Amino acid sequence: MRPTAWLALALALLLAPARAAEFDYGPQPFGPHRTTERWGAYESPAADGKVRYFLVRPEGAGRYPGVYYVYGRPGLDHRLLPELRRLASYGFTVYVAHFQEALLIPILLPANDRPETLQVQIEGFEDFLKLEERAPGKVCVFSTVRGG
C-alpha cells in the first residue's frame, strides 16, 4: 500500500463515528435483580453439629434456579461475598456451606481436605435441595479451586 493510502485509511478510521459505545462488552458488575441474603444452618453428622450456610437470591417472592457454590482458598470471606451477590443478581439462588468453619480447617491449609469435608458438602447440597427459595429442578454445582 502506498503511503498516501495508509494516511487516508488512518484519517478515515480517526474521523469515523465511534461505535464502541453501542457495544459494551466489558465486565458487568451486577445483573438486573436486587438481592437479599441470609445465614442459616443445617445439621451435619460429619461435622458433629451444625454447619452455617450463606444464601443469597433475587429479592421478591419468585423462585430461581439453584447454584450450590463450593469455595476454595482462602475461604468464605469478604472477597467472595460480593461475587456470590453478583451471581444471584443474574437470577440465581446461591447456597454456600461454610465447611471450613464447621470443620475448623485453617484458611489456607491443608493442601488436601479431610475425608469428612466431602460428606459435609454432600449434606449441605441435600439441605439446599429442600429449601423453598430455589426453583425445583436441576441445581448447578459451581466450585472454585482449592489450590494455593
Q: How far is CA 32 from CA 37, 92, 115, in A?
A: 16, 11, 40
Mean pLDDT of the chain: 84
Q: Give the mean model confidence (pLDDT) for residues 31-41.
A: 94
Q: Which pLDDT score is estimated for 93?
A: 97
pLDDT digits (tens, 9 = 90+) for 83-138: 899 999 999 999 999 998 998 888 776 667 788 999 999 999 999 999 999 999 99
| Look-up of cell digits 503511503 | 3
Average the pLDDT over 8-34 and give the result. Answer: 65
Q: Which of 24-38, 65-79, 90-104 has the highest mean pLDDT?
A: 90-104
Calculate the CA 19 to chain-centre distance. 32
pLDDT at 9: 64
- Band the pLDDT of 147: cuts 50, 70, 90: low
pLDDT score of 11 more than 70: no
Residue 148 pLDDT: 46
Average pLDDT, integer, range 32-50: 95
pTM of the model as a whole: 0.77
Place of cell 443445617: 42
